[in-house]
C-alpha cells in the first residue's frame, strides 16, 4: 500500500488511501430550474484525529514538503472509489489542483483509465479545479483539460471571485460550471457589491455557456437573493452539510 509521510511540527503523519475519508455535499437545482439534486461534491478528509484531518491544512503541509501532487492524486482516487455507488445519472464533482494537472500531459488519460478500471463511466464525474495553489505548468495543464473535454468530461472552476487567476482560467479552459466562492453568499441580501459581482458572473456564464453554482448558502434570505440574480444551482448548509455516503438520502 502506498504511503506518504507528512511532517507536522514534531509529528509525522502517515497518509494512506484507506486512511482518507470522503464526505459528500449535495448540489441543488434552484427554483429557476427543475428543482431537486443535480449532483454531489466529493470532499476529501485527512486521517481522523490527526493534525491534517482538515483538507486545507493537509494540502498546505503537502505543498510545503513538495508532495502536493502525490497527496492530491491519493485523495482524488479515494474520492472516486467512494463514489462508485452513485447511480449513473448522478454527477459527482471531484476536486483536483491545477498544480497536479501541470506535472504531466499523461495525467488526464491516467485518470480516465482509472475511472474505467473501477467500473464507472468517466463522463459521470466532473473535474473540479481547486485554486488553492498556482498552476505548475500552464501548457501541460491546458493539455490535460483539453483531453478531459475531448473525452466528454465536464470541467468546474471552484472559488470564482477568489482564485489566483480567475479570468485567465476562464479564458483558457472555458469551464462548464462556475462555482462562486462562499464569501459572496454570506449576507448577500444586504450587500449590493456582492450582488453586482454575482450578477456579473451570471452574465459571463451566458457567454461561456456555463452554469453557475453558488457555494456557502446558509440562510433563506441569501438563497432568495441568489435565485433572483439568476444563479442556476446552490450548495451549502442551508440544503445539506457534508456527510458520508451512508448518511445520504438519494
4-247 CATH: 3.20.20.450
Angle, helices 138-150 vs 166-173, to 10°: value is 40
> Could you count the other beta carbons within 10 Å of the beta carbon of residue 219?
16
Please give the pLDDT value at position 163: 62
At 152-197, the pLDDT tens digits run 999 999 989 876 556 777 888 899 999 999 999 999 999 999 999 9
Contact 150, 122 (CB under 8 A): no
Give Cα 97 distance to the centre of its chain: 9
Does the pLDDT at position 106 exceed 90?
yes
Look at residues 157, 113, 116 and name the one whose alpha carbon lies nearest to residue 135.
Answer: 157
Condensed to tens digits (0 to 9), the pLDDT of residues 187-228 reads 999 999 999 999 999 999 999 999 999 999 999 999 999 999
Mean pLDDT computed over 102-111: 96
**Are 88 and 97 contacting, i.e. CB atoms less than 8 angstroms apart?**
no
* Cα–Cα distances in angstroms (integers) from residue 32 to residues 73, 137, 179, 216, 230, in the given order: 36, 39, 17, 19, 7
pLDDT tens-digit series, residues 23-51: 999 999 997 555 699 999 999 999 999 99
Amino acid at each position: 500500500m502506498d504511503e506518504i509521510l507528512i511532517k507536522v511540527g514534531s509529528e509525522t503523519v502517515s497518509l494512506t488511501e484507506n486512511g482518507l475519508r470522503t464526505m459528500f455535499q449535495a448540489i441543488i437545482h434552484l427554483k429557476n430550474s427543475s428543482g431537486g439534486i443535480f449532483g454531489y461534491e466529493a470532499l476529501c478528509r485527512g486521517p481522523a484525529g490527526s493534525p491534517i484531518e482538515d483538507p486545507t491544512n493537509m494540502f498546505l503541509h503537502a505543498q510545503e514538503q513538495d508532495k502536493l501532487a502525490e497527496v492530491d492524486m491519493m485523495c482524488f482516487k479515494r474520492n472516486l472509489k467512494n463514489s462508485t455507488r452513485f447511480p449513473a445519472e448522478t454527477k459527482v464533482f471531484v476536486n483536483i489542483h491545477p498544480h497536479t494537472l501541470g506535472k504531466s500531459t499523461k495525467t488526464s488519460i491516467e485518470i480516465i483509465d482509472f475511472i474505467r478500471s473501477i467500473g464507472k463511466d468517466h463522463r459521470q464525474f466532473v473535474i473540479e479545479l481547486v485554486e488553492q495553489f498556482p498552476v505548475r505548468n500552464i501548457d501541460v495543464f491546458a493539455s490535460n483539460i483539453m483531453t478531459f473535454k475531448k473525452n466528454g468530461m465536464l470541467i468546474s472552476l471552484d472559488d470564482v471571485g477568489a482564485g489566483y487567476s480567475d479570468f485567465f482560467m476562464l479564458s483558457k479552459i472555458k469551464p462548464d460550471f462556475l462555482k462562486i466562492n462562499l464569501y459572496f453568499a454570506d449576507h448577500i441580501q444586504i450587500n449590493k457589491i456582492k450582488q453586482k459581482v454575482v450578477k456579473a458572473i451570471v452574465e459571463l456564464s451566458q457567454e461561456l455557456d456555463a452554469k453557475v453554482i453558488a457555494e456557502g448558502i446558509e440562510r433563506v434570505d441569501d438563497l432568495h437573493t441568489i435565485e433572483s440574480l439568476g444563479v442556476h444551482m446552490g450548495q451549502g448548509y442551508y440544503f445539506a452539510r457534508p456527510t458520508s455516503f451512508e448518511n445520504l438520502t438519494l
